[in-house]
Structure 1
Amino acid sequence: MEEIKKRLATYPKRTITLTQLEELIKPYIHTYEQFADTILQLESEEVLGMVKAKGRTARTPSLALQYRIDKSLLAMNHHKELQRFRNLLHPSINIDDYYRKDPSIWQNDLATILKVDEYIKTYSFPSEQVPAPERSFEIVGDEKWLVEKGGKELLERIGVFNKLKIIPVSEPLMFAINPTNIQNSIQLHLIVENKTTYQGLLPALVETEFSTLIYGSGKSVIKSIEQFAIQYPLEADHQFFYFGDLDREGLMIWYSLTKRQPVHVALPFYLACLAKEAVAGKDYQREHIEALEVFLLFFLPKQQDVIRMLLAEGKYYPQEILKTQELQMIWREADWKALM
């Protein structure tokens, strides 16, 4: 019965026909009598409620032709199961996030969570870092699980990813260092999307208050930013700024990056772009509404209107619209800490 209730909890609709019910629980039922007894029991528990307008069958025992599924009642059962596992799993494994998610996610993750639980109880948390494929194989017997099959997300969801000392597998982060600022308690880091902008800014790095200049290489930085703490192991308050093409793709790169690492918009560069004539040619890019709305929060209302309009018209600002001398001057003279 519990398996049937789990299937009902994850059924995509709140109403279900008798025929659909029969298909749903077919693996567990072999005769009409068993089927009818199960449905009537679910009726008595008020998990299923008859849709009166559809009527009932003429067979004995009689069943409704359509039912409403009480998802809230099934959620209570889901919460009871979570509470039971809370007491069984290692104390470091936090499953609170599953109270807010569809029960199907818990069901999909449970077998793997039990493997993680067994690993931690058997070996405790490791003292040394190892690459993701090695740790992945140790935990679940699949070297690709962490990187390619959602393992990292699951470990983060249950709060143990950082404790398992996993070296992320991604391309190395490419950056230049300003040695005069690496002892600062607050350190600034500028990420730029394109190679031309990186090369143009590089000579001015030592004249700025920034500790590093990071070459984002388009979308690559979304993954390679994971390497920052390993490649730059200095204790400080690290503040990141991002400057990319002012187009839909550039905004999406910045927005995706913020999901992994808090990153400020490098506003002085973007404002300098807005003072110039936009370029046509990006009307093919897909719109990312959420990325745009979050990005626009950094701008004044009139500036927001300008950005909305130029993107709607398929126009954009490439980073290269700012020449080398202008880029360097902005980087040297802007009050970056005021933007933090």
Structure 2
Amino acid sequence: MDDTHKYEDWRGAMNLLEQIHDVVTSKQSAKTKARLNVIRLESDIRSRVADYYEQGGYTAFAAAIKTLEAQGAIQPFKGSAVNGRTPALPLQYWVLPRNIEPSWDSLQIMKLSDHLQFGFYRRYPEWQTSDEWHRIESVHAFLQSAEERQWVSVEERSLELFGHEKYLSEPEGSQFLSRLGIDHSALKAKRWGEPFVMWLRPGTSPHEIREVLIVENLSFFHTVVMLQRRGCLNLSDQPDIIIYGEGKKIERSFSFFYELFPVDRSYSFRYVGDMDPEGYGILYRLHYGYPEAGVLPAAEIYEAMAQFHQHTVSCETQTKDERYLAFMLQHVTPDSRAASSMRACWAMNKRIPQEVLTVETWRKGTVG
């Protein structure tokens, strides 16, 4: 090979090396290795480089791979098969972690460590970016005067500190706070409960409320309200307040109850939804998501729904979690009609909608 051809092969290898280096760099992290398949990599480079073959083609590609291997950027799998080309290359490589030097000033980190934790950033220096540092400075400035600040919504505090009202409500914002070892409460930022629709029994003052009934669906909410107005809601414990849960929304809005009514009182919370996995799941998550409330099934109403077992419909698309059924069976009478219907519907992928109970199907003596 004459000097001209050697020069062109070298130049082609250098051009491809730049392209391959970009691909490899995109796969590198500071801590973990990544897999690199030589056949897929060459295909990717051919699609990126229009004059791939004019730049030396596979020969230049192989030379670039060997250069990256010599530089310690990639490493062949032990015992990897070769690609059957000349010169031969291992089919599989590891992209080795890159060595990232810390970019933040140690003295500045010490100054901010009075309120914040920096262990994460020392372990993962790739997170030491200028944008991250600006956010940390905003948080630290707030924490220095936090005692004089008032509680506001998460969105309001997010706009103040980061210029975007949604930042702290999104995973990116929550992860940022976690990296610093704090949460929303450190910023005096509160997730206000979403408002819900409710009906207070006439003549009941907020300080007299004890019995709370939450219903999943809108139609049954109106049915229960109408029955109570007529004096026909024959339950052992009459609800003082009826809340429309609006499906899964109640899981986010439940805390709103304590923004309306005294928090230092004891309440009896009962929930009723469709007799299906989704309805049981809502109740299960309410019970364990708000342990201080101790939300339990409205067993008498489930018993009334179970009378209409002939009205079951399919629920094959719903995800079943055995914990939901076990929780329901734990809180209804074992030999009751409700327990029997729950087991049977669960086994057959059937459900009983809440709408089986109407002002016409509900009669005195229906429950109890």
| Cα gap change, 1:253 to 1:297, in 2 (>3 Å) | closer
Identity of aligned residues (%): 19
Q: Which amino acid aligns with 2:37?
A: T
Secondary structure of residue in 2 paired with 1:299: helix
Q: How far did 1:138 drift?
A: 1.6
Supply the distance in 2 between the matched residues of 1:325 and 1:281 (Cα, whole angstroms): 23
Q: Deviations over 1:143-170 (max 9, x none)?
A: 23344x3367547855412333335466
| Cα gap change, 1:277 to 1:154, in 2 (>3 Å) | same
Supply the distance in 1 between the matched residues of 2:195 and 2:325 (Cα, whole angstroms): 27
Matched, 1:222 2:257: no
Secondary structure of residue in 2 paired with 1:6: coil
Stretch deviating more after TM superposition (257-266 or 218-227): 257-266
Give the TM-score, by structure 2 length.
Answer: 0.57
Q: CA RMSD in A?
A: 5.3
| Equivalent of 1:52 in 69, 79, 99 | 79
Supply the distance in 1 between the matched residues of 2:65 and 2:175 (Cα, whole angstroms): 40
Q: What is residue 338 of structure 1 aligned with on the other side?
A: none
Q: How far did 1:211 drift?
A: 6.5
Supply the distance in 2 between the matched residues of 1:56 and 1:120 (Cα, whole angstroms): 53
Q: Which amino acid aligns with 1:293?
A: R
Q: How far did 1:310 drift?
A: 1.6
Q: Which amino acid aligns with 1:122?
A: A
Q: What is residue 118 of structure 1 aligned with on the other side?
A: 137
Q: How far did 1:67 drift?
A: 3.7
Between structure 1 and structure 2, the one with the greater Rg is 2
Q: How far did 1:189 drift?
A: 3.9
Matched, 1:161 2:158: no
Q: How far did 1:287 drift?
A: 1.6
Supply the distance in 2 between the matched residues of 1:88 and 1:237 (Cα, whole angstroms): 46
Q: What is residue 192 of structure 1 aligned with on the other side?
A: 215
Task: Report if the CA contact (8 A) 2:207-2:262 is conserved.
Answer: no
Matched, 1:317 2:358: no
| Equivalent of 1:299 in 329, 335, 342 | 329
Secondary structure of residue in 2 paired with 1:221: helix
Task: Report if the CA contact (8 A) 2:275-2:353 is conserved.
Answer: yes
Structure 1: gaps (5+ residues): 44-48, 331-340
Q: What is residue 92 of structure 2 aligned with on the other side?
A: 66
Q: Which amino acid aligns with 2:81?
A: K
Matched, 1:272 2:303: yes
Q: How far did 1:246 drift?
A: 0.9
Task: Report if the CA contact (8 A) 2:83-2:90 is conserved.
Answer: yes
| Cα gap change, 1:219 to 1:122, in 2 (>3 Å) | same
| Equivalent of 2:37 in 5, 9, 17 | 17
Higher normalized helix content (fraction of residues): 1
Task: Report if the CA contact (8 A) 1:92-1:159 is conserved.
Answer: no
| Cα gap change, 1:264 to 1:171, in 2 (>3 Å) | closer
Supply the distance in 2 between the matched residues of 1:109 and 1:325 (Cα, whole angstroms): 69
Structure 2: gaps (5+ residues): 1-23, 49-63
Q: What is residue 13 of structure 2 aligned with on the other side?
A: none
Q: What is residue 246 of structure 1 aligned with on the other side?
A: 275
Secondary structure of residue in 2 paired with 1:213: strand
Give the TM-score, by structure 1 length.
Answer: 0.60
| Cα gap change, 1:319 to 1:281, in 2 (>3 Å) | closer
Residues 140-159 of structure 1 aligned to structure 2 (within 5 Å) = 140-147=162-169, 149-150=170-171, 153-154=174-175, 159=182
| Cα gap change, 1:155 to 1:53, in 2 (>3 Å) | closer
Q: Deviations over 1:293-317 (max 9, x none)?
A: 3342331688777535424545323
Supply the distance in 2 between the matched residues of 1:269 and 1:5 (Cα, whole angstroms): 60
Q: Deviations over 1:211-265 (max 9, x none)?
A: 6432212233233224233233523466643211112332343355457534533
Q: Which amino acid aligns with 1:193?
A: E
Secondary structure of residue in 2 paired with 1:175: strand
Q: How far did 1:192 drift?
A: 1.7
Q: Deviations over 1:37-83 (max 9, x none)?
A: 34x4554xxxxx614141378778x863214689xxx7xx99x9xxx
Supply the distance in 2 between the matched residues of 1:94 and 1:212 (Cα, whole angstroms): 45
Q: How far did 1:173 drift?
A: 2.6
Supply the distance in 2 between the matched residues of 1:267 and 1:112 (Cα, whole angstroms): 51
Q: What is residue 135 of structure 1 aligned with on the other side?
A: 157
Residues 101-116 of structure 1 aligned to structure 2 (within 5 Å) = none
| Equivalent of 1:283 in 295, 314, 317 | 314
Supply the distance in 1 between the matched residues of 2:128 and 2:326 (Cα, whole angstroms): 36
| Cα gap change, 1:205 to 1:270, in 2 (>3 Å) | closer
| Cα gap change, 1:135 to 1:268, in 2 (>3 Å) | same
Q: What is residue 5 of structure 2 aligned with on the other side?
A: none
